[in-house]
């Protein structure tokens, strides 16, 4: 497990990282097994973030490792257009057995961001194919995170991800976000207050007219922006408003998919089925990059039966349904099924909720939120230095052997679904100690 640190850290321009700062004191991970990472020196780090919300079955799972090894020796790559390979069909068929009722078709991508772009393009193309080509507008939400490509940052609502990149896509509008700490701080699960925020979609429809709107995209639980759990009834109400106006509802389930909330998908948790569902991350347990967009049959079938000149969906990636990703994905689904991982978060959720909310009276904590096996602890910002407190906390937790994640002044936790109660205690205990020790 011991490997030397690379002596030249300069060539790699790291994503979403303050490179200069990082390279002064780099944090590297050289190995991983089950709930732990290992530093190049062999120091274990308890993974409280499932990598980046993706390693749902834990690290180094033998079945997945073997499947990828076998696949690369057997068929390393197959062209993705006008051709395919058996595991692509097998994996899609396996996936649609666990997706919400009626979401029977999968379009493969290589990441969450690509799934987002794919979903937006499917929505626009579908509106044209069904003869509603004036519906070109896309509606996102403030604080939404939908990856980093142009469609995603346009419908997304995180200012720092948008401000450097010009005017973005035209014809996009945003609903208000649902975060309301004044009324909902320290809520366990879904907040009581805020269903009326769904009516913001009616405001937008009134402003632009339904005939111009193709789709609405939201994360069932907004993750990367700091774990914002939707108010009770909010998603159902969005569904009703979309139905009333013929607008497609897209759920970005990149984080909420594959068991994170204790159900296979967020749609199952909230009892609301979207028209299009975006996934990635847990689809292969993070082992090989992959994403998939699921659509209702009527959307898929419109492309199969529509006018001849429109039936090909002119979209796809060289690595769509890559053999290694499909092999990893099938083994991931097997692992999830054998170990009951798609519902395990539901069993652990009460214990997890107690643990997260035990931090309520800890120094600097101004809110705590939880749902399934996701938690967030929001810290009081330091005046003039927002984000510093949470980031210091991240650094100190890493020193003490626990990997957490921060966004702004919010600490986000989303451990692998194989976590034990003892490990939940270890995460929260470390966090509590670090917060108490913080200046
Ligand atoms: N959508 C959501 C909701 C996400 O959380 C993420 C990644 N955190 C993405 C899209 C983008 O996924 P990727 O980084 O794989 O492109």
pLDDT digits (tens, 9 = 90+) for 163-172: 999 999 999 9
H or E stretch including 402? strand 402-403
What separation in Å is there between the alpha carbon of 113 and the centre of ligand 1? 6
* Within-domain flag for 12: no
Same domain for 354 and 278, yes or no, is: no
Query: Residue 36, Cβ neighbours under 10 Å: how many?
Result: 20
Residue 401 lies in a domain: yes
- Please identify, among 306, 321, 338, the residue that sits at the C-terminal boundary of a domain: 338
Do 147 and 113 lie in one domain? The reply is yes
Look at strands 248-252 and 213-218 and give their pairing.
parallel
Check if 116 has its Cβ closer than 6 Å to any atom of ligand 1. yes
Q: Is 410 left (phi over 0), alpha (psi -120 to 50) or beta?
A: beta
* Ligand 1 neighbour 147 (Cβ under 6 A): yes
Its sign, for the CA torsion 352, 397, 412, 12, is negative
Q: Which atom of ligand 1 is nearest to the CA of 112?
A: 12
The DSSP 8-state label assigned to residue 211 in this structure reads G
Distance 148 CA to ligand 1 centre (A): 8
Nearest CA to 249 out of 351, 346, 119, 367 is that of: 119
Task: Determine whether the shortest distance from the Cβ of 194 to ligand 1 is under 6 A.
Answer: no
74, with CB counted inside 10 A (0-12, 13-18, 19+), is: exposed
Nearest CA to ligand 1 atom 8: 224
Go through 178-188 and write b for each residue having 16 or more CB atoms within 10 A of its CB, e for each that does not. bbbeeebebbb
Q: Is the Cβ atom of 112 under 6 angstroms away from ligand 1?
A: yes
User: Would you give the distance in Å from CA 131 to the centre of its chain?
Assistant: 32
**Domain around 237:** 65-338
Q: Indicate whether 215 and 130 sit together in one domain.
A: yes
Distance 73 CA to ligand 1 centre (A): 30
Whether 9 is in a domain gets the answer no
Consecutive 10-residue averages of pLDDT for the chain (439 residues): 63 94 93 98 98 98 98 98 97 98 97 98 96 97 98 97 97 98 97 98 98 98 97 98 98 98 98 98 98 98 77 92 98 98 98 98 96 97 87 97 96 98 98 91
pLDDT on residue 2:
47
User: Residue 230 corresponds to which tokens in the numbers above?
Assistant: 């939707």
Largest CA distance in the chain: 67
Q: What spacing in Å lies between the alpha carbon of 158 and ligand 1's midpoint?
A: 13
Q: Are residues 317 and 348 in the same domain?
A: no
Last residue of a domain, one of 338, 356, 391: 338
Q: Among the residues of 137-198, which ranges form H helices?
A: 150-155, 159-162, 181-184
- Residue 289 CA, closest ligand 1 atom number: 15
155 lines ligand 1 (CB under 6 A): no
Asked whether residue 397 falls in the same domain as residue 316, the answer is no
* Same domain, residue pair 105 and 152: yes
Find the length of the chain.
Answer: 439
Last residue within a domain, chosen from 293, 318, 338: 338
Asked whether 255 lines ligand 1 (CB < 6 A), one says yes
CATH code: domain of residue 27: 3.90.1150.10
Nearest atom of ligand 1 to the alpha carbon of 255: 5
Q: For strand 31-33 and strand 44-47, is the pairing parallel, antiparallel, or unpaired?
A: unpaired
Q: Is 254 in the pocket of ligand 1 (CB under 6 A)?
A: yes
362: left (phi over 0), alpha (psi -120 to 50) or beta: beta
**185/302 same-domain check:** yes
Question: How many domains does the chain divide into?
Answer: 2
Q: What is the pLDDT of residue 71?
A: 98
Residue 359 sits at φ, ψ, to 5 deg, of -85, 0
Complex ipTM value: 0.99
**φ and ψ at 313, to 5 degrees?**
-90, 105
- How many Cβ atoms from other residues are within 10 Å of residue 301's Cβ? 13
Q: Which pLDDT tens digit goes with each residue over 4-53?
A: 455 688 899 999 999 999 998 899 999 999 999 999 999 999 999 999 99
What span, in angstroms and rounded, lies between the C-alpha atoms of 168 and 152? 10
3-state secondary structure of 13: coil
Query: Is the minimum distance from the CB of 283 to ligand 1 under 6 angstroms?
Result: no
pLDDT computed for residue 76 by the predictor = 98
The verdict on 290 and 357 lying in the same domain is no
Q: Can you spell out the DSSP letters for 213-247?
A: EEEEEE-SSB-TTT-BPPPTTHHHHHHHHHHHHT-
Q: How far apart are CA 156 and CA 159, in angstroms?
A: 9
């Amino acid at each position: 497990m011991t490997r030397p640190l690379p002596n030249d850290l300069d060539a790699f321009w790291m994503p979403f990282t303050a490179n200069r700062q990082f390279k002064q004191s780099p944090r590297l991970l050289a190995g991983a097994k089950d709930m732990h990472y290992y530093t190049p020196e062999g120091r274990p780090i308890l993974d409280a973030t499932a990598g980046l919300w993706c390693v749902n079955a834990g690290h180094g799972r033998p079945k997945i490792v073997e499947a990828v090894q076998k696949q690369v020796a057997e068929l390393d790559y197959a062209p993705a257009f006008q051709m395919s390979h058996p595991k692509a069909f097998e994996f899609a068929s396996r996936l649609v057995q666990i997706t919400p009722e009626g979401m029977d078709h999968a379009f493969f991508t290589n990441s969450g961001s690509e799934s987002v772009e794919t979903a937006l393009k499917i929505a626009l193309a579908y509106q044209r194919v069904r003869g509603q080509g004036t519906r070109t507008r896309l509606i996102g939400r403030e604080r939404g995170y939908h990856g980093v490509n142009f469609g995603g940052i346009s419908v997304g609502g995180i200012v720092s991800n948008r401000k450097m990149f010009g005017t973005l896509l035209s014809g996009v509008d945003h609903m208000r976000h649902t975060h309301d700490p004044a009324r909902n701080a320290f809520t366990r699960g879904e907040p009581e207050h805020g269903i009326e925020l769904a009516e913001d979609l009616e405001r937008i429809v009134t402003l632009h007219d339904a005939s111009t709107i193709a789709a609405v995209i939201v994360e069932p639980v907004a993750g990367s922006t700091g774990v914002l759990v939707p108010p009770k009834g909010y998603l159902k109400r969005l569904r009703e408003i979309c139905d009333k106006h013929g607008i497609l509802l897209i759920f970005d389930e990149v984080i909420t998919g594959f068991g994170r909330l204790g159900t296979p998908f967020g749609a199952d948790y909230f009892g609301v089925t979207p028209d299009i569902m975006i996934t990635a991350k847990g689809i292969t347990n993070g082992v090989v990059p992959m994403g998939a967009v699921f659509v209702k049959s009527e959307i898929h079938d419109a492309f199969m039966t529509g006018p001849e000149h429109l039936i090909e969906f002119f979209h796809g990636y060289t690595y769509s349904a890559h053999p290694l990703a499909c092999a990893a994905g099938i083994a991931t689904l097997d692992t999830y099924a054998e170990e009951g991982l798609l519902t395990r978060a539901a069993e652990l959720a009460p214990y997890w909720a107690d643990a997260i909310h035990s931090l309520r009276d800890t120094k600097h904590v101004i809110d705590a939120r939880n749902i399934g096996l996701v938690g967030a602890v929001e810290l009081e910002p330091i005046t003039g230095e927002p984000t510093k407190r949470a980031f210091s906390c991240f650094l100190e937790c890493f020193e003490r052997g626990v990997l957490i994640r921060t966004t702004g002044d919010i600490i986000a936790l989303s451990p692998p679904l194989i976590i034990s109660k003892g490990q939940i205690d270890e995460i929260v205990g470390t966090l509590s100690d670090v917060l108490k020790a913080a200046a």
